[in-house]
Structure formats: structure tokens, C-alpha cells
Amino acid sequence: MNLDQIDIRDAFFDQLYLKGSIDNNVIVLSADMDAFSLRRFAKDFPEQYINVGVSEQNMINIASGLALSGKMVFCYSIASFATLRCFEQIKVNICSMNLPVTIIGAGAGFSFGYDGPTHHGHQDLSSMRLLPEMSIIELSSNDLAQKFVNFAFENNGPLYVRLDKGPFPEWKEYNIDFSKGYRILKTLEQINLISNGFMARTTLEVAKRLTSNGINCGVIDLFRVKPLPDKLYEEIICKSKKIITIEESCKTGGLGTCLSEIIAQSENNCQLQVIGTPDRQFIEYGDRGWFHKKYGLDEIGIFNTIINNI
């Protein structure tokens, strides 16, 4: 099966499987979370897979002990629980001791929309951003997911990654230089849209619609949110009159906030528009598409928000 057809979780865990098969120091911890290809890892490498049950704090503590003993650890849970539920353990153990632990958060934004605000992932990214030693990656395509696994080994430190679900076809036409931290999906213009993860695809569609309405804009997949890429300022912000960030995260502390921190210090007059979820918890139930439509995060909603602010 080629990379276009498989679920991004499988693209990710299949690559991790390859790593695990040649290095028995690779350990995967799951807090009662499942994924099709993770089952293969668990079955074939039972010594390298531990389901800690519903105990995220313990998962991070165990991961810390394993990492202190030379293991390369991957922790898997729902984004909201994998970050906020065990924030203290991540901060004190993994970050302050710079341990090689990768936290994999499933369920970005509204992807577990029907399970209520406890399962929505709107603050995972912003909370992880608070941790100085943490690196943060958002995955927008299956090939990026594969390359990410290699990056985790090179990085060898605290890492948070948002892992979505469903097929995220490979973007062969966009060469990934992982170390760069971003890739240009549509040639830069005076107005540039910056997004990542699930929203990168929607953003590309929005850009096409804007172009056909006479508004040219570039699109950037900023997959490394922390540390922000060194060249981002020089190569993107300095060349833009307006930046529009599009994210499936709370606008407080997310991708838009990251950009605002750089733009505020810049000398050019680059404008910033931040599109994301409102600063609230959503005690309502629906699928991802329903939420996106309701809160203006679908293609039309984003398009209208941009047009109204031009």
C-alpha cells in the first residue's frame, strides 16, 4: 500500500516499527490508546511496548525512568490528556532533565469532536509551548509523519507531536527539509497564509479560492512550531505585507501567538490576522466538520473571514 492511502497514524507507527525492529531501546508507552499499526509493534516487540492503562501521570513518570536508563521513549495518548493531565511530570521530569521522550498527542482540535471538551485538543500546543526545552511538531502529510520519526531520534530530547487520524496523502511535490522547520506549499506573495497539520490542506484550498477571486497569496506549512525556524523571519515575515495564520487550536497561545511574538519585534509593517478557535471550552457535540463550519474553520468560513478583513 502506498503512502497516499494509509492512515497517518499507520504511516507514523510503521516507521516507528522499523526503528523498533533494529533498536530494542525504542519503547512505546500507551495510556490505553490504540492504533492499527501500533498493535503490530505491540505483538512483535512485547518487551518494547507497555500499555500503562489510564494513568497519564504515571506514563510520563515511567517514561522518565526508562529514558534515564538509556531508552528512547514514545508516549501515546489523547492530545489533551497527554499534555495537560501530566503537565507537571512533563515539565519537571522530561523537560528539566532534557530526556529523549516524544509525546504523541492524538485528537488535535475537534477531531474527537463528539466526545466533548475533555477530548478536544485546543490547549495542547499552547501548553507545550510554555516549556522551554520542548520541541513541537505538527504533521500535515504521511511523508512528513515518516520523516518525523527519524527526526525524533536525531532530536534526542523532549518532543511533542500532534498526530491526526485518517489519510493525509503524501505531498511529493513539496520537498521536505525537516531541519528547516517549514515548507512552502504555494509561492510566496505579499499576503501569505501560515498553517500546519490538518489545517494545512484546508489552507491550500482557501488559497486557491482567494486566488480565483483575485487575491494572490502564498501558503506555508510551518510544521515546527517550537523552536520556530531561524529563517522564518528573514525568509517569510520580511517578505510579507500580511500574514494570516490558520490553526485548529485556541487562538490564545497557539500558532498565531507564535507569529505575533516575532512580528511584534520586527521593523517591517507586516500585518497579522489570526484564525483559530475562540478562547473557550466547547460543551457541545458534533463531528469535526460540523465544528469547523460552526466556528468558521472550514474553507468557506476561513475564506470569508479573510475577505472581510482585506
Partner 1 sequence: MDYNIKDLKKLQNKASKIRIRALEDAVRARKGHLGGSFSCVELLVSLYYGKFLRINPEYPKDPNRDYFIMGKGHACLSLYPILLDFGFISKKRYLEYGKNGSSLGGQLDISIPGVEYNTGSLGHALGICAGIAKAAKIDKRDSRSVALIGDAECDEGSIWEAVMFSAEHELNNLICIVDRNRLSVTKKIESEVLFGDFEKKMNLFQWNCNVINGHNYNEIFQALDNALISNRPTMILANTIKGKGVSFMENDVRWHHTIPSLKEVNIARKELGVLNNKI
Q: Which residue of 71, 129, 183, 201 would you call a contact of partner 1, by CB under 8 A?
A: 71
b (16+ CB within 10 A) / e for 135-147: bbbbbbbbbbbbb
Closest CA to 156 of 55, 217, 74: 74
43-51, 147-155, 159-167, 259-267 -> range binding partner 1 (CB under 8 A): 43-51
H or E element at residue 234: helix 232-235
3-state secondary structure of 277: strand
Q: Which residue of 5, 34, 68, 153 would you call a contact of partner 1, by CB under 8 A?
A: 68
Q: Which residue of 23, 92, 216, 289 would you call a contact of partner 1, by CB under 8 A?
A: 92
Residue 175 binds partner 1, judged by CB under 8 A: no
- Do strands 224-226 and 135-138 pair parallel, antiparallel, or not at all (unpaired)? antiparallel
Closest CA to 106 of 77, 126, 131, 85: 77
Residue 62 binds partner 1, judged by CB under 8 A: yes
Q: What minimum distance in Å lies between the beta carbon of 46 and partner 1? A: 10
Q: What minimum distance in Å lies between the beta carbon of 169 and partner 1? A: 37
Nearer to partner 1, 57 or 252 (CB): 57
Q: Which residue of 40, 58, 119, 167 would you call a contact of partner 1, by CB under 8 A?
A: 58
Could you tell me the end-to-end alpha-carbon distance of the chain, in angstroms, rounded to an integer? Answer: 44
Q: Which of residues 202-221 bind partner 1 (CB under 8 A)?
A: none
32-40, 61-69, 214-222, 246-254 -> range binding partner 1 (CB under 8 A): 61-69
Non-local CB neighbours of 280 within 8 Å, separated by 6+ positions: none
CB count within 10 Å of CB 5 equals: 11
8-22 helix and 36-44 helix, angle to the nearest 10 degrees: 10
Q: Which residue of 37, 93, 123, 245 would you call a contact of partner 1, by CB under 8 A?
A: 93
Interacting residue ranges for partner 1, rule: CB under 8 A? 24, 27, 47-48, 50, 52-53, 55, 57-58, 60-71, 88-89, 92-93, 96-97
